[in-house]
Amino acid sequence: MLVSLYIWRRKRKYRLLSKCILLLLIVIILIPIALYIFTEETHEMLIEGDTIRVQLLLHESGKVIELGLEEYVVGVVAAEMPASFPLEALKAQAVAARTYAVKRIQIPDPRITRINNKAVLSPDSAINQAYISVEEMKSRWCKRSYLTYKNKITQAVSETKGEVLLYEGNLIDPVYHSSCGGCGTEDSENVWKYEIPYLRSVPCNNHPEGNKEAINIFKLSKLNALMGIQSRAVSHTSSNQRIIKILEKTASGRITTLLVSGQEVSGAELRSKLSLPSTILNWVIEKDEIKFISRGYGHGVGMCQYGAASLAKEGKDYGGILKHYYQGVNLALVKGRE
């Protein structure tokens, strides 16, 4: 009887030990080695531990969808920066996008809350950052490239998870643009009239792809109407100086003020109303048309995306890229409630 009881206890002990070993193996396998995992079915990289939530307003339907912060940042990076760019440039973009989102969660944009007070962000790039869904990524990239690009962007987001940019302890407005045209970035007050200490003009060794010239042609007879100027339409018989004249440029070569048919307008206004790529431009008047030749794309303030790609190719990491374009900033971690 005692022998039987002893044998039963030993067997029970070994069964418990076997279960403990099995449980330990399961835990070890399931704990992610990095901040991301791959799904077994598709080998698609996903992010874990996404605790901060973003409420995104979809303008077409008027609906508000909720996303994890890191999931949202993946969609922003996919929409805002070419996935073919180096990983360190994508990581810099991820930190900028995350900082922008967290600042909007902290201080909601009234242009969004007026439409729906439950939302904090919009995928409309004219208002906030652009954002695309997984389905839109699949549509944008060919089937062969989807997983490669999606996983690369997810890696960039995962490897910077929770990182944001601070200036003197406060979240910055991490504005960015596609290309400075190789002329360097611009001081904030030359575009928006506000002097922001971390948005200073810095040199930028832009990638040649970002320096291509763009041409936009308009009929002279339509120029005033497009600019909203209430005066007689100009014609090719007018002198060039009477039609359009530069009054002031910045050190980087961007037009800040000019005369159009005798009326003073800002370079930013000209760019906006004529949908020009940038304010680094010149023009040629031929017969009844005006041809604008511009370089770069965007307002020119903050991070130049093509410049970030060039710096990454030169060996700079994402922190170095960000600190080049946003002067005096520090990286910090933001965490949601577990």
- pLDDT above 70 coverage of the chain, percent: 80
Task: Please give the residue range of the domain that contains residue 287.
Answer: 213-295
In terms of average pLDDT, the best of 130-144, 153-167, 201-215 is: 153-167
pLDDT at residue 315 is higher than 80: yes
Across the chain, the runs of DSSP E, i.e. the strands, are: 36-38, 45-47, 53-58, 63-68, 163-167, 170-171, 176-177, 213-219, 244-249, 255-260, 263-266, 281-286, 289-295, 303-304, 330-333
* 54 part of a folded domain: yes
- From 75-89, 258-272, 302-316, the region with the lowest mean pLDDT: 258-272
Is the pLDDT confidence value at 130 over 90?
Answer: yes
CA quadruple 139, 145, 153, 70: dihedral sign: positive
Q: Is the pLDDT of residue 176 over 50?
A: yes
In this structure, are 222 and 284 located in the same domain? yes
Within this chain, do residues 164 and 91 fall inside the same structural domain, yes or no? yes
313 and 277 in a single domain? The answer is no
Q: Strand pairing of 303-304 and 176-177?
A: parallel
Average pLDDT value for residue range 204-233: 82
pLDDT digits over 20-43, tens only? 555 544 433 443 333 444 444 545
Is residue 278 a contact partner of residue 268, using CB atoms and an 8 Å limit? no
* Average pLDDT estimate for 37-55: 62
First to last CA, the chain: 53
* Shared-domain flag, residues 141 and 175: yes
For the chain, the average pLDDT equals: 84
Q: Are residues 61 and 151 in the same domain?
A: yes
Same domain assignment for residues 50 and 130? yes
Which of 111-115, 143-147, 165-169, 316-320 shows the lowest per-residue confidence on average (mean pLDDT)?
111-115
Q: Residue 96: inside a domain, yes or no?
A: yes
Residue 224 sits in the same domain as residue 126? no
**Angle subtended by helix axes 305-313 and 318-325, to nearest 10:** 140
Q: Render 279-316 in DSSP notation, one character per residue.
A: S-EEEEEETTEEEEEEESBS--BSEEHHHHHHHHHTT-
> What six digits make up the tokens of 173?
């407005």
pLDDT in tens, 269-292: 999 999 999 999 999 998 889 999
Tell me how far apart the alpha carbons of residues 210 and 314 are, in angstroms, rounded to a whole number: 16
Q: What is the pLDDT of residues 66-122, one digit of tens each?
A: 999 999 999 999 999 999 999 999 999 999 999 999 999 888 888 888 888 888 888
Which pLDDT does position 29 carry in this prediction? 40
167 and 73 in a common domain: yes
* Same-domain check for residues 174 and 305: yes
- Residue 111 sits in the same domain as residue 223: no
One-letter amino acid of 80: E
Of 162, 141, 163, residue with least CA distance to 152: 141
- 198 lies in the same domain as 249: no
- The answer on pLDDT for 11 being more than 60 is no
Please give the residue that has the higher pLDDT: either 253 or 211.
253
Residues 133 and 194 in one domain: yes
* Burial letters 194-223, b for 16+ CB under 10 A, else e: eebebbbbbebebbeebbeeeeeeeebeeb
Assigned domain for 31 exists: no
Total domains in the fold of the chain: 2
